[in-house]
Structure 1
Amino acid sequence: MCAREASARGLAVALLERAPSPGRKLCISGGGKANFTNRRLAAHHYACADPAFCEPALDAFPPQDMERLVHGWGLPVEERAHGQLFLTVPAKRLLDALVQDCRRQGCAIHCRTDVHDVAPLPGGAGFEVGTSQGLWRCRRLVLALGSPAWPQCGATGSGFRLAQALGHRLVEHAPALAPFRMAPGWLDDNLAGISLPVRIGLPQAGLSPALAADPVWQDDLLFTHDGIS
């Protein structure tokens, strides 16, 4: 998305992708139907140390903009519970549309190009990027490497390492959207795979302001073979 927007504004953009093709994680999002945004999305839905952290991004690119973009690509959309927007076709259609749009705007996508290191050039002239396919130089550099949370999709922690090499301070990270694993034999195995709507509440004592403002969630709970998700 960043490469598409920069290209659309007339910048010369090269996207370096370590995998054989870009966007593998997008292909499997939303159960393969691309849960690409949420009509009710707002800053208070983000639980973090600084509740205002995401406000500038949401102000600059609200969910309605993403919805218009997807409609512009001719993709069919449906709304599900809690304002979630999904495709009615495979998520790969969304990936293909994004890649085609990127290239149409002039972005060059280089796959199988693993970034090893980055360093600023003297005098603020830009950056030098060392990769498996040789050296690159650029005036501006964007690190968009995700997190190591899903290594099966090719995710690594290289983004943290590269950011540190440029002098950035890392906020300690922790798992999110993680399941609860229970002790063996805690429940009848026949329940695995069954889901049901639930309301879950947390005591407010000790919670961050973002969580304390909305301590009850209502959604689907899934019994798994080793706990709940």
Structure 2
Amino acid sequence: MTRPERVDVVVIGAGAAGMMCAWEAAKRGRRVVVIDHARAPGEKIRISGGGRCNFTNRGTTPKNYLSANPSFAISALKRYTPEDFIRLVDRHGIAWHEKTLGQLFCDGSARQIVDMLTDGLREAGAALRLSTTVSSVARDGDGFSLATSEGSLACRSLVIASGGKSIPKMGATGFGYEIATQFGLRLVPTRPGLVPLTLDPGLLETIAPLSGVAVEGRARHGKTAFDEAVLFTHRGLSGPAILQISSYWREGEEIELALAPRTDVFGRLREARSTNGRQGPATALAEILPKRLAQAIAEREAGAGNLADLSDKVLRRIDTAVNGWRFKPTGSEGYRTAEVTLGGVDTADLDSRTLEARQMRGLYFIGEVVDVTGWLGGYNFQWAWASGWVAGQNA
């Protein structure tokens, strides 16, 4: 029987968190192997930010994350900050720029971030094994043994960085959750996050002509609201504001949309009625909203006629249609298009200072597989870098 290859650390998952962890562990002199069933590393990095990778957010705080235990992420985020990653990017000569809301993007291709990580692995002596599957993991003394498609491995520390269920066409699976369950860790139920929302057929039919229209709106669920773009699609609603609020929404609950949140629509229409009552409400609304959207709302709420013919009651109805639209989504587009997976390995079973399982020495969980999910805008990458860095100092 062939003896297993023995190393110090095996990292399962060659994504942002996994490669960051492996790089840090290897820099400490640990013998590290990174395994991934994909043919290329860092695929989510490569496609993120429209191919330019929104690699962090300067405004990162624990408040930008959802978790059953919101304070869990504090330790890692304080110990490895956005500025730490920016310095790393700068040292590797990667040019970047800041967009709105603290979001940082590469000037060039997102592949620069992938290359930085893979180059770092190679220079630190870590092995990257792609197109390699893991068929079993077992406790082996005070370490672990793994059966893979490329042979057997034995290690002292095992890091699970296999991500969540989002975007299965890129190879996402529930592997990390299976390993957690195998070793007695609990799971917070998972669901798609940062995902477009779908509407019932009747409502969808009324907004179908608006497909492709985008506005700077506000999406609200309870006390949580996001002021970002809202996009009408042939399936329902998308855009950053919708993706953000989708992480807070649950089926059967209501969402409120404001399509011109910084405008007193009623006041503007009353003023237009007094100064130019012969114009139609759609014309007046088109000064506030995209023409197609203005026309659809005006036709639905006011019908034919001029502003002079409309009462305050009708103008208020138009105002509500613009800035007080309440609706119940029928669901979301699911993991197929979700950018992240909410829920995951219960943080109560992990040490926030090391990301090690409390009841299983040498077993670590990092990145998206953990019940820590960031907002849209570079926050999930920052959690990947921070959790990977922390585990890399300890594995």
Normalised by the length of structure 1, the TM-score is 0.90
Deviation of 1:127 (Å): 0.4
- Contact 1:7 1:107 (C-alpha < 8 Å) held by counterparts: yes
Question: Secondary structure of 1:36's match?
Answer: strand
Q: 1:14 to 1:194 in 2, by over 3 A?
A: same
Contact 1:222/1:228 (8 A) holds in 2 = yes
- Structure 1 range deviating more: 23-32 or 193-202: 193-202
Aligned length: 217
The corresponding residue for 2:32 is 13
Question: CA offsets, 1:204-229, max 9 Å, x none?
Answer: 4xxxxxxxxxx221111122221111
Aligned twin of 1:219: 228
Q: What is residue 177 of structure 1 aligned with on the other side?
A: 194
Structure having the higher Rg = 2
Once residues 225 and 40 of structure 2 are traced to their aligned partners in structure 1, the CA distance between those partners, rounded to angstroms, is 40
Q: Which one of the candidate residues 130, 136, 158 is aligned to 1:117?
A: 136
- The whole-number CA distance in structure 2 between the counterparts of 1:19 and 1:79 is 31
Measure, in 1, the Cα distance between the counterparts of 2:229 and 2:85: 25
Q: Partners in 2 of 1:194 and 1:89 — Cα distance?
A: 28
- How far apart are the structure 2 equivalents of 1:199 and 1:220? 8
- Matched residues, percent identical? 39
What residue ranges of structure 2 are gaps of 5+ in the alignment?
1-19, 239-395
Conservation of the 8 A alpha-carbon contact between 1:119 and 1:165? no
CA contact (8 A) 2:211 2:234 kept: yes
**CA contact under 8 A between 2:207 and 2:232: conserved in structure 1?**
no
Task: Tell me the SS of whatever aligns to 1:90.
Answer: coil
- TM-score normalised by length of structure 2: 0.53
Q: Does 1:228 align with 2:247?
A: no
**Which 4+ stretches in 1 moved above 3 angstroms?**
184-190
Alignment of 1:65-80 (within 5 A): 65-80=84-99
Distance in 2 (alpha carbons) for counterparts of 1:116 and 1:194: 47
CA distance in 2, matches of 1:199, 1:134: 53
Question: Does 1:163 pair with 2:217?
Answer: no
Per the TM alignment, residue 161 of structure 1 is displaced from its structure 2 partner at its CA by: 0.8
Cα distance in 2 between the residues matched to 1:138 and 1:38: 35
Which stretch of structure 1 is more off in the superposition, 110-119 or 31-40?
A: 110-119
Q: Residues 129-186 of structure 1, C-alpha deviation per residue, up to 9 Å, x if partnerless?
A: 1111121000111011001111011111111112211222212112111211113343
| In structure 1, distance between residues paired with 2:112 and 2:30 | 26
C-alpha deviation, 1:199, in angstroms: 1.7
Greater RCO between the two (CA within 8 Å, min separation 6)?
2
The answer for the alignment partner of 1:63 in structure 2 is 82
Q: Which residue of 2 aligns with 1:148?
A: 165
Q: Offset at 1:31?
A: 1.3
| Secondary structure at the counterpart of residue 41 of structure 1 | coil
